[in-house]
Structure 1
C-alpha cells in the first residue's frame, strides 16, 4: 500500500478548502493509498511537515495549496525519495497550470478531485531545483521589478485574492510608474557582464506572471540548467514595454531582452535588491547567488502535459 500525507492550509487561496480536501483524500484512499490529512498554518510549519514525511519514507506528499505552499514543501523534500504532488487550491497556481491541472474556481468546485485522479493516472519524474541564498525554489528567482511588486502585494486577504489576474495586472501597472533600473554586475557560468536592468529573472519553467505569460517556451525541467532572463532599461516606459512584450510573447525577439541558459549565477549591486522566490518575498540582498541542484526532487505529474517538460523517462 502506498503511503502519503495530504497537507493543506485552510487560510490559503481564494476558497475555504477543508471540505474539498477531505473529498480528495477519499479518492486517494479508494485508490489504495494510506493517506493522513494534516492541517498547517503554512510557512516554516509546512516545511517541517514535508521534512517529517521524507524522514518517515512516505511515498508522496500531496499539497493542497498554491505556489507558495509548494515552495515551502520543496525545502522539506529536496533530495528525498518522497514525491511532491499538487492539488491546486491557491491563488495563481502556476505550477499546476504548467502541468495542465484544473484549478479551483467559482465554476469548478471539483478541481481537487479531478487533479488527484489525473495525478494518480500519471507518472513520477525527477526534476531540477534552483538554490538561491541557500533556499530552494521550484519555479523562479527574481530580482528587481517583479520582486518589488511581490514585496508590496503580499500578504493578501482572501477577498483580495478573488480577482488575482486583474489585481496583479493593475498593481503592476501602478508600481511601474515609480520603478527605475538596477545597475548590476552579473557573473554567469564564469562569464562577467554588467548593465542597467529592470528585472533579472531565473526561471525553471515555461510560465510566469501568474501564468499570464510564457517566458521560456523551450524550458526543460530535468536538463540541469535554468534560463536567466535580463530585461534592460531604467524608465517607466521601458518597464511598461517589457510588460507588454511579455504578455504578447514579443520579449523573445526584443533587443532589450537577453536569455542565457546557465547553471551558476551571481548578481551584485551597490544597493540591496528586492528578491522573490516562487512568488514569495524574501529578504533583499546586494549579493545574490543562484545554483542548480540537478535531479533533486521527485514530482508526480499527470499524463498528457500541455507541453513536453522532461527530457528523461519517468521512474
Structure 2
C-alpha cells in the first residue's frame, strides 16, 4: 500500500472539507485501485483525485491490486481495522466493484466510486458523472445509501448475472487486448462467439415456474453494458430481481436482440420477457460460464436470490 501523507506534517485534527454545508468529515480514505481497469489509461484521473483529497486534509492510502480476489480481501480487511478508513473508494470498473462489494457487504464502511472501467454501469445506475469534480464532491457530500445485492451461487453481484451469449463473450475476451483497447476487445469477442453460435435453450425457473430461453440476464439494476436499459423497473435500492428472458434462439436473432437493446426497443419484442422474481434457478446440460457484473464469477448450474446483506454506497446528491 502507498500512503500519500507527508511524515513531517501530521494530518490536521479537523481536516478541511469543501465549503458546503452538506459536506461530511473524511479523515482517512482507502483507494482500491485496479491498474488494469480502463486499459490502464486513466491513472491521471486517480492522481488528480488523490491530489484533491490530500489538499482537503484527507489521509489517503492506495492499494494497487495484484491478483484476482485482492480487492475483495483488502475491502474485507478494512472493515476490521481499529482505525479503519472513513470511506473505501473503488478505482476500477464494475468487475473490481464486484470484488469490493463482496468484501464490504454487511459492514458500515461507505463505498465511493472512481469509475475508470470500460463500461462503468454502476456509476450510470447511481447517476454519478465520471468527471473528477463530481467524484470528489460525492466523496464528501454523497448520501450513504444502502443498496440491495443479488447472490449467484453464494457470491454477491450488484448489477446483473447472466448466461448465454453474453457470458460466453465475457469468458472469451482477450484480457491483454481488453487492457489495450477496451470495448474493441468485447466487439471482437462478440464476433467470435456469434460465428460459433448454435441454437440452444436454458431451463430458467423463476419462483417455481419453469421457462425456456436462449439466454437470460437476472438484473438487479436497470442498465446493462453502459446506459442501455435491460430491465426498466429494476433498482438497486429496492429488494427484488428481474429475470430478462431472450426466448428465441438463432444467430441472427441474437443480432436482433443486440440491436433492440442498443436502439432502446428491447421491451417491445414479443420474444423478450422480464419477470420479477426472488428465487431463480438456471440449469443446462453443460456447465457453461456465468457472468456477474461483467466478469465470470461461477458456472452452471446456477441458484440466484436476494442477498441477506447490503452495502452503503455514496450517491450524488439529487440522484434518484
Q: 1:92-114: per-residue Cα shift (whole Å, max 9, x none)?
A: 212122233333xxxxxxx3454
For residues 260 and 156 of structure 1, do their structure 2 counterparts lie closer, same or farther at Cα, with a shift above 3 Å needed? farther
Matched, 1:289 2:314: no
Q: Matches of residues 109-148 of structure 1 in structure 2 within 5 Å?
A: 111-148=131-168
Cα shift at 1:8: 1.0
Cα shift at 1:77: 0.3
Deviation beyond 6 Å, 4+ runs, structure 1 = none
The structure carrying a bigger strand percent of its residues is 1
Match of 1:58 in 2: 85
Unpaired runs of 5+ residues, structure 1, are 104-110, 309-315
| CA distance in structure 1 between the aligned counterparts of 2:79 and 2:37, rounded to whole angstroms | 23
Match of 1:260 in 2: 275
**Corresponding residue pairs, total:** 292
Secondary structure of the 2:287 match is strand
For residues 218 and 232 of structure 1, do their structure 2 counterparts lie closer, same or farther at Cα, with a shift above 3 Å needed? same
Match of 1:8 in 2: 33
Cα shift at 1:246: 1.2
1:176 to 181, 194, 200: 194
Matched, 1:200 2:227: no
For residues 254 and 20 of structure 1, do their structure 2 counterparts lie closer, same or farther at Cα, with a shift above 3 Å needed? closer
Match of 1:33 in 2: 58
Task: Quote the RMSD (CA, aligned, Å).
Answer: 2.1
| CA distance in structure 1 between the aligned counterparts of 2:112 and 2:199, rounded to whole angstroms | 38
Conserved 8 A contact 1:23-1:113: no
Secondary structure of the 1:156 match is helix
Pair member with larger Rg:
2
Cα shift at 1:220: 1.7
Q: 1:26-84: per-residue Cα shift (whole Å, max 9, x none)?
A: 32244453332222225211111100111125332101111111011111001111111
**So what's the TM-score if we normalise by structure 1?**
0.85
Secondary structure of the 1:95 match is helix
Matched, 1:233 2:248: yes
Conserved 8 A contact 1:224-1:295: no
Name which of structure 1's ranges 179-188 and 148-157 shifts more when overlaid on structure 2: 179-188
Q: Matches of residues 95-106 of structure 1 in structure 2 within 5 Å?
A: 95-103=122-130
Cα shift at 1:175: 2.4
Unpaired runs of 5+ residues, structure 2, are 1-24
Cα shift at 1:245: 1.3
**So what's the TM-score if we normalise by structure 2?**
0.84
Name which of structure 1's ranges 179-188 and 229-238 shifts more when overlaid on structure 2: 179-188
Match of 2:120 in 1: 93
Cα shift at 1:145: 0.9
Name which of structure 1's ranges 15-24 and 86-95 shifts more when overlaid on structure 2: 15-24
